[in-house]
């Protein structure tokens, strides 16, 4: 079993995707967004992404973030039919990942390491899905609009007509494509996207007030209500300690 740990700042990064190895990606500190196999999710110490062997995982960070990637044998760790999942990283699994990082690797021929490997596989088999995720559209026009949102993450939210122009289509067609492929209108998708960006900001140490205004909400109370409706929890628990 292998590991990969790095710290990067204000960049987009695609870590190696080795053949035959699935990956669990989370952070030790800080937060970023991750895109993998048609989903966009927030990566924090508590939430991550699990990707099948060979599936690229693209990371987007605005500030320094300490990323942890655990490589595990795909034959044992893969969930049938799963390409990528946004997951909850349970406390025990976080500790096991850090133990692997501290050791540098785990050797299945060593009894102690073999036990840790089995516990890691048990934890991966029990992974729960996190609500901090958003489907990406597949049509090239709609995908172009979604990528425009990602490229202008720290700018004011663009109107639908601007996204449609960037996607070389009409606003009506863009709405139809988003509804069919993501289950959301463009406006609702973008609101959820801004909440994911707020989750990244909170995980990097931003205050709830700053995250609320950056996400385009008129007040922190409106932001908190929208966050709770979308994710089923409050934003205060996300802030980096």
For 223, counting Cβ atoms within 10 Å of its Cβ (0-12 exposed, 13-18 middle, 19+ buried), the class is: buried
Token pair, residue 175, equals 């709405």
- What is the chain's pLDDT, residue by residue, as a tens digit (241 residues)? 777 777 777 788 888 877 788 889 999 999 999 999 999 999 999 999 999 888 999 998 888 899 999 888 877 655 555 789 999 999 999 999 988 888 888 888 888 888 988 999 899 889 999 998 999 999 999 999 998 888 877 677 788 999 999 899 999 999 999 999 999 999 999 999 999 999 999 988 899 999 999 888 999 999 999 999 999 889 976 555 4
What fold does the segment set 136-238 form as a domain?
Arc Repressor Mutant, subunit A (1.10.10)
Judge whether 27 and 53 are in contact, CB under 8 Å: no
CATH 2.60.120.280 fits 2-133, yes or no: yes
Token pair, residue 190, equals 């973008």
Every domain of the chain and the residues it spans: 2-133, 136-238
* Rounded Cα gap, residues 127 and 147, in angstroms: 28
Within this chain, domains 2-133 and 136-238 share the same CATH topology: no
* Rounded Cα gap, residues 133 and 183, in angstroms: 13
β-bridge mates for residue 22, sequence order? 72
* Rounded Cα gap, residues 154 and 205, in angstroms: 16
- pTM for the model stands at 0.84
* Rounded Cα gap, residues 68 and 45, in angstroms: 9
- Give the pLDDT score at 47: 93
């Amino acid at each position: 079993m292998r590991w990969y740990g790095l710290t990067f700042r204000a960049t987009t990064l695609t870590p190696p995707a080795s053949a035959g190895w699935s990956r669990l990606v989370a952070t030790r500190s800080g937060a970023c967004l991750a895109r993998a196999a048609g989903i966009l999710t927030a990566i924090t110490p508590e939430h991550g992404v699990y990707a099948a062997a060979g599936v690229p995982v693209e990371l987007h960070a605005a500030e320094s973030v300490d990323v942890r990637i655990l490589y595990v044998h795909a034959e044992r760790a893969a969930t049938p039919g799963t390409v990528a999942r946004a997951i909850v990283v349970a406390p025990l699994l976080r500790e096991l990942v850090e133990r692997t990082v501290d050791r540098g690797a785990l050797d299945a021929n060593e009894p102690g390491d073999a036990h840790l490997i089995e516990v890691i596989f048990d934890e991966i088999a029990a992974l729960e899905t996190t609500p901090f995720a958003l489907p990406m559209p597949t049509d090239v026009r709609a995908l172009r609009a979604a990528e425009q949102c990602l490229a202008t993450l720290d700018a004011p939210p663009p109107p639908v007509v601007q996204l449609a122009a960037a996607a070389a289509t009409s606003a009506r067609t863009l709405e139809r494509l988003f509804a069919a492929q993501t289950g959301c209108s463009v406006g609702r998708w973008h609101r959820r996207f801004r909440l994911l960006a707020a989750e990244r900001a909170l995980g990097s140490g931003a205050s709830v007030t700053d995250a609320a205004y950056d996400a385009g909400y008129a007040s922190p109370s409106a932001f908190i209500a929208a966050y709770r409706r979308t994710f089923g929890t409050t934003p205060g628990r996300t802030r980096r300690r």
